[in-house]
Amino acid sequence: MATTLLSLEQLPQRQRATVAGIAWDRLSAPEGRRLRELGFDEGVGIEVLHRARIGGGPIACRIGRMTVALRRRVAGAIHVDPLTS
């Protein structure tokens, strides 16, 4: 299973994926805790829904059954495994 890992920031919009891993060391402690509380965890289904394109604004992604807004720097610390359909 040699799939290429992307960060959530690079994941194309509407491309389904699963969370492969999270670089906790690149996040502050409160950021990491909030991410966990919002349900970010290895193996959870994820998809980028919207990008506030102008000037690198935040992204909105679906995680589980929830929609969460994140800044790009945090999205860059989340590694995802795109599902090949």
- Name the site residues for other proteins (rule: CB under 8 A): 28, 30-31, 33-39, 41, 49-58, 60, 64-71, 73-74
Comparing CB distances to other proteins, the nearer of 12 and 64 is: 64
Report which of 28, 35, 44, 45 is spatially closest to residue 69, judged by C-alpha positions. Answer: 35
Q: Which is nearer to other proteins, 5 or 60 (CB)?
A: 60
CB of 42 to other proteins, least distance (A): 9
Nearer to other proteins (CB atom), residue 5 or residue 73: 73
At closest approach, how far in Å is the CB of 2 from other proteins?
27
Integer CA distances (angstroms), 1 to 37, 65, 68, 82, in order: 30, 27, 29, 12
- The DSSP output letter for 50 is E
> CA 37 from chain center: how many Å?
14
